[in-house]
C-alpha cells in the first residue's frame, strides 16, 4: 500500500505571502494544498509543520475522508481558521494525489462537469464615477461578464476594495489589501457617509451600463442589521447580483432582521470555517450565496458538504477568490464549482506574474468563464526554484477605525 512519506510546508512571497503544503507518497506521487491565511500565515505553517506533518507520515493517502476526520476530531480543539486552513491544505493535497493516481482531473472524481465553465466576477473600483466606469470597461474588455463595484467614500481616505491605483485613476485596478510591514496600516470609516454615497454610484453605473450586467458589492462586515436592511432597500432599484458581508455574521440570527427589511440577494461566509457557521443561515434561508473558500473551510471535502446542505435550501456557491487564495486554492474551487449543481458565481482576480512563476496553473479564463482544465489532479505545479527565491515577509491586513478613533470591523 502506498503511504504518506513526507508533508512539506512551503512559504513563499512573490509579492504576497502564500503557505503551501506538498504531500509526497511512497510511490512518488505529490499533491499540493493551499493553507494561506492572510496576515496570520506563520500560525498555520507552524500548526502544519509541528502538529500535522509528524502525525500523517505512514497514513494511506487515498483515505481522504478518514484523514479529514482524523485531523478534525483528533485535534479535540475543533474549527477555527488556523485548524481549518491546515486541514484544508492536507485535504486538497490528497485530492490532488488521488486525481494524479487516477489520471483524472479532480472535478471528474467529484462527479464530473455540470456546466461548460464557471461564471466569474472581477473587481472594479475607483474614487470617482469616471474611474469606476473605466475600471468596469477594463473588466468587460478582459471578458468578464459580471463585476463587483467598490467605491471611495467622499471625506474618507483609503477604504476597503479601492486600490491606490484605482483611487488615483491611474493604472490597472489591482486591489491587494495586505500591506508589507510589521504592523497593520489604518483606514478610516463612516457608515452613514458610505450609505449615503453608495446608491448614487450604483444609479450611475446602471445608467451607464444598462440593466443586464450582473453587479455585485461587498459591505465588508460594517453595518448593523438595520443599516444593512436600509442599504439593501436603497440598492434594490439597481438589481444587484448580491450584497456581500452586509453585517458581521458571527451572529447568524441578525440576518433575520436584514431579510425582513430587504429582498436583496445576500452572500456571506468568507471568514467562516465550518458548516456550523452556516447552520442557521442555511436552514432559515437567510443567505443566497455561500462565500467560503476551499482554503479556509476544511478543503474540498468539507465545502462540498456545505454545498450539498445548501442545495436543499436553493442556496448557491460564490466561492471566495481574491489573490490571497493561492492558485492551488483557486484551482480547488474551480474543480468543486464545476462539479456541484448549485454553483452560483466564482470570484477571480488574476494572480501577479511573479506568483504565476511559482505556481504553474492550467486553469483558463475565456469569455467570462473559468475552467479548471483537464490535467490530472488539481492542475497546479509548484516551482521550487521560483518559490525559494522569495522568502516569507511580514504583511498585515489593515485595521479600520471610525472617525473618532473607535475600532470598527475592517
- Which residues form the interface with ligand KDG (CB under 6 A)? 38, 177, 218, 220, 270, 320, 322, 324, 347, 397
What's the N-to-C CA distance of the chain in angstroms? 48
Minimal distance, residue 321 CB to Mg ion, in Å: 10
The residues near 34 (Cβ < 8 Å, ≥ 6 apart) are: 18, 19, 20, 21, 88, 89, 92, 294, 295, 325, 326, 328, 329, 332
- DSSP state, residue 171: S
Closest CB to ligand KDG among residues 342, 346: 346
Closest CB to ligand KDG among residues 31, 344: 344
Question: Which of Mg ion, ligand KDG, none has residue 177 at its interface (CB below 5 to 8 Å by kind)?
Answer: ligand KDG
Tally of helices (H runs) and strands (E runs) in the chain: 15, 20
Question: Which of ligand KDG, Mg ion, none has residue 324 at its interface (CB below 5 to 8 Å by kind)?
Answer: ligand KDG
Question: Which of ligand KDG, Mg ion, none has residue 222 at its interface (CB below 5 to 8 Å by kind)?
Answer: none
Closest CB to ligand KDG among residues 29, 267: 267
Q: Using CA atoms, how far apart are residues 329 and 33, in angstroms rounded to an integer?
A: 7
Which of the residues are catalytic? Answer: 160, 220
Minimal distance, residue 3 CB to ligand KDG, in Å: 35
Minimal distance, residue 8 CB to Mg ion, in Å: 30
Question: Which of Mg ion, ligand KDG, none has residue 322 at its interface (CB below 5 to 8 Å by kind)?
Answer: ligand KDG
The residues near 20 (Cβ < 8 Å, ≥ 6 apart) are: 9, 10, 11, 12, 32, 33, 34, 35, 36, 89, 326, 328, 382, 387
Residue 127 corresponds to which cell in the numbers above?
474614487
Closest CB to ligand KDG among residues 98, 220: 220
Minimal distance, residue 324 CB to ligand KDG, in Å: 4
Q: Using CA atoms, how far apart are residues 246 and 330, in angstroms rounded to an integer?
A: 24
Minimal distance, residue 149 CB to ligand KDG, in Å: 12
The residues near 406 (Cβ < 8 Å, ≥ 6 apart) are: none
Closest CB to ligand KDG among residues 96, 270: 270
Question: Which of ligand KDG, Mg ion, none has residue 390 at its interface (CB below 5 to 8 Å by kind)?
Answer: none
Minimal distance, residue 192 CB to Mg ion, in Å: 21
* Distances 73 to 3, 68, 78, 90 between C-alpha atoms, Å: 21, 8, 7, 15
Question: Which of Mg ion, ligand KDG, none has residue 347 at its interface (CB below 5 to 8 Å by kind)?
Answer: ligand KDG
- Which of 172, 148, 153, 152 lies closest to 162, judged by CA? 152
Across 284-405, where does the E strand assignment appear? 289-290, 316-317, 346-347, 359-360, 364-366, 369-371, 381-382, 395-396, 399-402
β-pairing, 364-366 with 369-371? antiparallel
Minimal distance, residue 22 CB to ligand KDG, in Å: 23
Closest CB to ligand KDG among residues 38, 151: 38
Q: Using CA atoms, how far apart are residues 181 and 161, in angstroms rounded to an integer?
A: 20
Question: Which of Mg ion, ligand KDG, none has residue 288 at its interface (CB below 5 to 8 Å by kind)?
Answer: none
Closest CB to ligand KDG among residues 70, 396: 396
Residues that bind Mg ion (CB under 5 A): 218, 270
Residue 248 corresponds to which cell in the numbers above?
458581521
Is residue 207 within 8 A of residue 181, CB to CB? The reply is no
Is residue 123 within 8 A of residue 349, CB to CB? The reply is yes
Amino acid at each position: 500500500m502506498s503511504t504518506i512519506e513526507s508533508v512539506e510546508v512551503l512559504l513563499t512571497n512573490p509579492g504576497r505571502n502564500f503557505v503551501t503544503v506538498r504531500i509526497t507518497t511512497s510511490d512518488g506521487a505529490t499533491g499540493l494544498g493551499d493553507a494561506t491565511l492572510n496576515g496570520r500565515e506563520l500560525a498555520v505553517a507552524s500548526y502544519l509543520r509541528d502538529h500535522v506533518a509528524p502525525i500523517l507520515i505512514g497514513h494511506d493517502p487515498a483515505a481522504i475522508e478518514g484523514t479529514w476526520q482524523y485531523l478534525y476530531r483528533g485535534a479535540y480543539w475543533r474549527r477555527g481558521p488556523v485548524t481549518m486552513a491546515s486541514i484544508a491544505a492536507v485535504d486538497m493535497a490528497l485530492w490532488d494525489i488521488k486525481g494524479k493516481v487516477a489520471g483524472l482531473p479532480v472535478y471528474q472524481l467529484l462527479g464530473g462537469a455540470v456546466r461548460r465553465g464557471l461564471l466569474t466576477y472581477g473587481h472594479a473600483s475607483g474614487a470617482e464615477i469616471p474611474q469606476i466606469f473605466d475600471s468596469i470597461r477594463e473588466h468587460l474588455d478582459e471578458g468578464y461578464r459580471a463585476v463587483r463595484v467598490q467605491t471611495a467614500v467622499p471625506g474618507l481616505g483609503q477604504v476597503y476594495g479601492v486600490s491606490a491605483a484605482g483611487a488615483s485613476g491611474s493604472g490597472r485596478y489591482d486591489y491587494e489589501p495586505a500591506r508589507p510591514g510589521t504592523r497593520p496600516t489604518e483606514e478610516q470609516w463612516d457608515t452613514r457617509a458610505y450609505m449615503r454615497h453608495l446608491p448614487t454610484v450604483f444609479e450611475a453605473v446602471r445608467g451607464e451600463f444598462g440593466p443586464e450586467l450582473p453587479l455585485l458589492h461587498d459591505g465588508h462586515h460594517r453595518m448593523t442589521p438595520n443599516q444593512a436592511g436600509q442599504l439593501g432597500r436603497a440598492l434594490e432599484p439597481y438589481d444587484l447580483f448580491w450584497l456581500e458581508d452586509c453585517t458581521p455574521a458571527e451572529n447568524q440570527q441578525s440576518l433575520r432582521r436584514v431579510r425582513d427589511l430587504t429582498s436583496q440577494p445576500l452572500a456571506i461566509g468568507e471568514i467562516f470555517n465550518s458548516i456550523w457557521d452556516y447552520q442557521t443561515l442555511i436552514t432559515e434561508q437567510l443567505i443566497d450565496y455561500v462565500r467560503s473558500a476551499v482554503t479556509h473551510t476544511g478543503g474540498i471535502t468539507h465545502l462540498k458538504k456545505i454545498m450539498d446542505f445548501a442545495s436543499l435550501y436553493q442556496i448557491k456557491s460564490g466561492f471566495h477568490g481574491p489573490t490571497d487564495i493561492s492558485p492551488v486554492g483557486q484551482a480547488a474551487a474551480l474543480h468543486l464549482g464545476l462539479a456541484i449543481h448549485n454553483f452560483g458565481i466564482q470570484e477571480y482576480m488574476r494572480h501577479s506574474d511573479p506568483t504565476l512563476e511559482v505556481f504553474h496553473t492550467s486553469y483558463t479564463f475565456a469569455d467570462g468563464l473559468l475552467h479548471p482544465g483537464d490535467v490530472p489532479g488539481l492542475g497546479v505545479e509548484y516551482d521550487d526554484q521560483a518559490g525559494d527565491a522569495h522568502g516569507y515577509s511580514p504583511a498585515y491586513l489593515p485595521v479600520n477605525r471610525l472617525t473618532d478613533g473607535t475600532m470598527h470591523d475592517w
